[in-house]
């Protein structure tokens, strides 16, 4: 029994597929006879492209007589030069998002990056995304190194690479501005020759097995905007010197490593452009420095599990007027929560759960108009809740104050019945009977991870090449089809 809509869908898909194929054939084999004065792809580069394409299982490319004149998504070429010759400047592989599908590696177990890339002397951008993941190999460093100063963007993201990051490769790619090796199995230290990449704007080596210390020369990269080394095994200290040169940085993510020693302090004051700081899950010690509050542009401060600090909350955080996410969980925060939130109008998420905070919940926390999530559970807070009915309604299921034995509701306050459900009466407070807010029922969060929350803002995407795995798949058949279409079809006619 097939649903009417399914039949309808399949019908539409078949028409679309037929149309795609037709267009593909027309585009791949243009009927017009080529005239001698049309620009042509440089022959050496043409054959290099055929080899690179067939190494990824895209043999169809070699049936295209001139790759720069009959392009597909994922190849770009220069304008004709003085000899009327076209040069290949960009090659991209992998299904990036639903509307950006470069050629995929169709024969996954065999796909690799062909050494022929070394024969593309004009290549500015080389991009592989989840392409060679089923055929793990080291990065073809020698071949990439031959591209030298022409290469500006090198993205080998979730591409199955093993082995080391080659120091010699880095040393030769002097004009690189984007280096994205996220999500491979690279296992080495970060070579000091990273310091040669003086034009680097984005460096993302996150989710690998990189070890040893941060290279000191990193801090000589003055153009750097995004530095993401998260989810590695980096050790050693993070000094004021290391970070104070990063005055252009927007995003600094060193989370999920093994960094230790005391946190930097005055160094933070140089990070006036920083919007996201994530040092979560490391082994730092010492108090939270007051200088954290002097990063004027900060929108997200993520210091979860950065070590057992036994620190108070610096009152200077009140200066972070752009802050939207404040997460300092499981670090042994002690003392009272200072009443500093009046000027922090943009706060949406506050998490300080699993600490040893004492005293009252400050009034200013209850006055935040944008707040959508507050987790203060597992502390030693006491007293009444400073939240108006409006605030509790807004936070509803995203207010978690569990496991604070001393927190109480005043019985005559207007808290919603949902909040009061499952609570117990407590005694000994002035002003009549109160109810212990030991357990707030129905706590759940639609924002399960502050990193994801932050990632909703483009500013924080570590790379313009975001993983599309979380996109809505309700129209999957069409997406698959449109990919097939783009990949089989893969052709735009170039209009010269």
For residue 223, give the DSSP letter.
Answer: T
Determine, following the binding rule CB under 6 A, whether residue 204 of this chain makes contact with ligand NAG: no
How far is it, in rounded angstroms, from Cα 184 to Cα 229?
Answer: 12
- β-strand 300-302 against 325-327: which pairing, if any? parallel
Determine, following the binding rule CB under 6 A, whether residue 390 of this chain makes contact with ligand NAG: no
Residue 185 or 456: which CB sits closer to ligand NAG?
A: 456
Dihedral sign from CA coordinates of 339, 344, 346, 349: negative
Task: Give the contacts of 218 (CB within 8 A, at least 6 positions apart).
Answer: 190, 194, 195, 227, 242
The one segment of 119-127, 131-139, 371-379, 427-435 that binds ligand NAG by CB under 6 A: 371-379
Contact yes or no for 273/296 (Cβ under 8 A): no
Residue 59 or 81: which CB sits closer to ligand NAG?
A: 81
Angstrom CA distances, 202 to 41, 230, 244, 263, 431, stand at 31, 14, 18, 24, 58
Determine, following the binding rule CB under 6 A, whether residue 45 of this chain makes contact with ligand NAG: no
The one segment of 194-202, 238-246, 375-383, 468-476 that binds ligand NAG by CB under 6 A: 375-383
Is residue 99 classed exposed, middle or buried when 0-12, 13-18 and 19+ CB atoms within 10 A define those classes?
Answer: exposed
Among 272, 297, 445, 468, binds ligand NAG (CB under 6 A): 445
Exposed e or buried b per residue across 257-275, where buried means at least 16 C-beta atoms within 10 angstroms of its C-beta: bebeeebbbebbbbbebbb
Determine, following the binding rule CB under 6 A, whether residue 377 of this chain makes contact with ligand NAG: yes
Residue 223 or 449: which CB sits closer to ligand NAG?
A: 449
Among 152, 204, 324, 353, binds ligand NAG (CB under 6 A): 353
SS3 237: strand
- Binding-residue total with ligand NAG (CB under 6 A): 12
Tokens matching residue 25: 């054939």
How far is it, in rounded angstroms, from Cα 327 to Cα 312?
Answer: 14
Question: Using CB atoms, what's the residue nearest to ligand NAG?
Answer: 353
Residue 27 or 349: which CB sits closer to ligand NAG?
A: 349
- Interface characters, 447-486, with ligand NAG (x: CB under 6 A): -x--------------------------------------
Determine, following the binding rule CB under 6 A, whether residue 82 of this chain makes contact with ligand NAG: yes
- Interface characters, 290-329, with ligand NAG (x: CB under 6 A): ---------------------------------------x
Determine, following the binding rule CB under 6 A, whether residue 33 of this chain makes contact with ligand NAG: no
How far is it, in rounded angstroms, from Cα 107 to Cα 188?
Answer: 29
Phi-psi region of 130 (alpha: psi -120 to 50; beta: other; left: phi over 0): left
Q: Percentages helix, strand, coil for the chain, rounded to the nearest 5?
A: 25, 20, 50
Determine, following the binding rule CB under 6 A, whether residue 81 of this chain makes contact with ligand NAG: yes
Among 45, 66, 253, 354, binds ligand NAG (CB under 6 A): 354
Shortest separation between residue 447's beta carbon and ligand NAG, angstroms? 7
The one segment of 19-27, 77-85, 231-239, 473-481 that binds ligand NAG by CB under 6 A: 77-85
List interacting residues with ligand NAG (CB under 6 A).
81-83, 329, 353-354, 375, 377-378, 400, 445, 448
């Amino acid at each position: 029994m097939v649903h009417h809509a399914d039949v309808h869908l399949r019908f539409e898909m078949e028409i679309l597929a037929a149309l795609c194929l037709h267009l593909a054939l027309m585009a791949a084999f243009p009927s017009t006879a080529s005239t001698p004065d049309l620009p042509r792809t440089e022959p050496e580069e043409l054959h290099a492209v055929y080899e690179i394409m067939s190494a990824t299982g895209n043999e169809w490319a070699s049936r295209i007589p001139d790759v720069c004149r009959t392009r597909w998504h994922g190849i770009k070429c220069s304008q004709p030069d003085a000899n009327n010759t076209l040069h290949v400047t960009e090659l991209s592989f992998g299904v990036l998002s639903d509307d950006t599908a470069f050629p995929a590696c169709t024969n996954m177990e065999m796909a690799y990056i062909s050494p022929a890339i070394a024969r593309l002397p004009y290549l500015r951008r080389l991009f592989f995304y989840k392409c060679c993941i089923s055929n793990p190999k080291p990065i073809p460093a020698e071949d990439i190194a031959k591209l030298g100063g022409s290469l500006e963007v090198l993205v080998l993201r979730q591409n199955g690479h093993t082995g080391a990051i080659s120091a010699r490769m880095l040393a030769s790619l002097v004009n690189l501005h984007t280096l994205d090796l996220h999500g491979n199995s690279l296992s080495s230290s970060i070579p000091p020759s990273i310091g040669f990449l003086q034009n680097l704007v984005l460096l993302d080596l996150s989710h690998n097995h990189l070890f040893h210390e941060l290279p000191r020369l990193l801090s000589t990269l003055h153009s750097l905007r995004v530095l993401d080394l998260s989810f590695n095994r980096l050790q050693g200290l993070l000094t004021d010197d290391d970070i104070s040169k990063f005055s252009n940085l927007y995003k600094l993510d060193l989370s999920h490593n093994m960094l230790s020693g005391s946190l930097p302090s005055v160094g933070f004051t140089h990070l006036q452009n920083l919007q996201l700081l994530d040092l979560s899950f490391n082994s730092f010690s010492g108090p939270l420095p007051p200088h954290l509050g002097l990063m004027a542009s900060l929108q997200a401060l993520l210091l979860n599990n950065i070590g057992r600090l036994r620190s108070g909350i610096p009152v200077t955080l009140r200066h972070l007027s752009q802050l939207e996410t404040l997460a300092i969980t499981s670090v042994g925060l002690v003392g009272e929560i200072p009443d500093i939130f009046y000027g922090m109008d943009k706060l949406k998420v506050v998490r300080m759960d699993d600490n040893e905070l004492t005293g009252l919940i400050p009034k200013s926390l209850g006055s935040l108009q944008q707040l959508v999530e507050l987790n203060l559970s597992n502390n030693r807070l006491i007293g009444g809740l400073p939240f108006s009915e409006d605030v509790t309604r807004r936070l509803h299921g995203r207010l978690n104050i569990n496991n604070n034995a001393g927190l109480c509701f005043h019985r005559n306050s207007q808290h919603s019945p949902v909040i009061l459900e499952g609570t117990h009466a407590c005694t000994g407070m002035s002003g009549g009977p109160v109810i212990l807010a030991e357990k707030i029922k129905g706590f759940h969060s639609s924002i399960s991870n502050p990193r994801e929350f932050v990632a909703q803002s483009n500013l924080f995407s570590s790379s313009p090449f975001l993983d599309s795995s979380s996109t809505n798949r309700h129209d999957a058949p069409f997406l698959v089809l449109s990919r097939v279409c783009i990949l089989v079809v893969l052709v735009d006619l170039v209009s010269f």
